[in-house]
């Protein structure tokens, strides 16, 4: 069996660092990033848009690439974000093909499905990708997945493994998602009560490592079983639930954005109105990876370790999908006594 030699982009980031520390216990690992971070594996200072990436891949005799580098936070420089997200991914893919890499793993996002009122209650991998143009991260993930489809057609020798994670949280999470729950109240604009699905950061690492080790291919939603509504999250955290009118929140964000007090655009209120709720059936039944924690267990772990709040799940109201089709209907909603997907 050929030795696996892995390169991780975004290796100094949150998930990249965790993954590199884990993978390097069993195989050769190097990383690239524009940021510096101490690690037990070498991280080269390199932009993913750099043409020299192919030479590094050749020099390190890389067989597997895990592409994690991405612009997570909304900003004002859309051209820069596009260059990093989309053109950077194209450069990584081209480098893989030119250097003879055999396996490519990408963390896309549930955001690729888009934030829409008519999303299925539970999104499956076969559902359309409709990343919102007004939300760079969502739009770019859609464009990247379209690019990957072209590469699967034109370069079948490069095996692809694509994960679409939901909200990633853990003991040390510091992100846009974690900020939603660290304030004095929980926000639910327009009272949509759109559920959140969560995945433990160690399950993200575990799923990627599982796939890389087995040279797995395919596209998989990456989420824990079940979902929590904003109302239930507020109850679990013992925080008030705020439900401002959508127009009011958009107006406040417009003022903040216009005065450069924040980078959140009014159109991004959809991020809270219409959450993409990911079904993980294929992850478990086809890939064979079983997340260690459910969405609720993941949130409770995050709340205790990152927010300093103990959460009691004994009477938690958890939403599950009652059938594998992910169809709408009241029958799919259950308490924690319901069957997990």
**pLDDT reading at 337 higher than 90:** no
How far is it, in rounded angstroms, from Cα 84 to Cα 269? 24
Strands 5-9 and 28-33 turn out to be: parallel
Q: What is the pTM of this model?
A: 0.92
State percent of the chain over pLDDT 70: 94
**pLDDT reading at 97 higher than 50:** yes
Is the Cβ–Cβ distance between 36 and 45 less than 8 Å?
Answer: yes
Is 121 buried (19+), middle (13-18) or exposed (0-12) by CB count in 10 A? middle
Q: What is the mean pLDDT of the chain?
A: 93
Instruction: Compute φ and ψ for 252, nearest 5 degrees.
Output: -65, -40
How far is it, in rounded angstroms, from Cα 337 to Cα 333? 11
Chain segment 148-159, per-residue pLDDT in tens: 999 999 999 999
Neighbours of 310 (CB within 10 A): 11
How far is it, in rounded angstroms, from Cα 18 to Cα 14? 7
Chain segment 115-170, per-residue pLDDT in tens: 999 999 999 999 999 999 999 999 999 999 999 999 999 999 999 999 999 999 99
Six-digit token pair at 325?
A: 């089709």
What pLDDT score does 335 carry? 31
Which residue has better confidence, 75 or 301? 301
Chain segment 286-322, per-residue pLDDT in tens: 999 999 999 999 999 999 999 999 999 999 999 999 7
Residues 6+ apart with CB under 8 A from 194: 188, 229, 230, 272, 273, 274, 275, 277
């Amino acid at each position: 069996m050929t030795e696996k030699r892995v390169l991780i982009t975004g290796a100094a980031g949150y998930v990249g660092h965790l993954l590199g520390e884990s993978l390097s216990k069993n195989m050769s690992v190097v990383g690239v990033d524009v940021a510096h971070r101490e690690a037990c594996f070498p991280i080269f200072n390199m932009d993913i848009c750099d043409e020299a990436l192919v030479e590094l891949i050749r020099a390190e005799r890389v067989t597997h690439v895990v592409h994690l580098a991405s612009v997570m936070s909304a900003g004002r420089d859309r051209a820069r974000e596009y260059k990093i997200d989309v053109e950077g991914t194209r450069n990584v893919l081209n480098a893989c093909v030119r250097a003879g890499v055999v396996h490519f793993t990408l963390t896309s996002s549930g955001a690729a499905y888009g934030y829409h009122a008519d999303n299925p209650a539970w999104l499956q991998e076969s559902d359309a990708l409709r990343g919102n143009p007004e939300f760079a991260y969502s739009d770019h993930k859609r464009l990247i997945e379209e690019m990957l489809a072209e590469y699967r057609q034109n370069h079948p020798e490069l095996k692809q493994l694509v994960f679409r994670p939901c909200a990633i949280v853990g003991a040390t999470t510091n992100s846009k998602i974690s900020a939603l729950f660290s304030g004095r109240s929980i926000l639910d604009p327009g009272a949509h009560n759109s559920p959140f699905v969560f995945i433990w950061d160690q399950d993200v690492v575990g799923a990627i490592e599982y796939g890389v080790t087995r040279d797995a291919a395919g596209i998989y939603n990456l989420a824990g079983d079940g979902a929590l509504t904003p109302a239930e999250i507020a109850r679990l955290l013992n925080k008030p639930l705020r439900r401002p009118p959508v127009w009011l929140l958009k107006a406040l964000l417009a003022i903040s954005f216009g005065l450069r007090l924040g980078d959140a655009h009014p159109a991004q209120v959809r991020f809270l109105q219409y959450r993409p709720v990911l079904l993980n059936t294929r992850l478990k039944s086809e890939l064979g990876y079983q997340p260690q924690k459910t969405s609720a267990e993941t949130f409770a772990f995050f709340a205790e370790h990152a927010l300093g709040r103990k959460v009691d799940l004994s009477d938690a109201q958890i939403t599950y999908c009652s059938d594998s089709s992910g169809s709408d209907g009241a029958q799919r909603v259950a308490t924690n006594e319901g069957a997990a997907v």
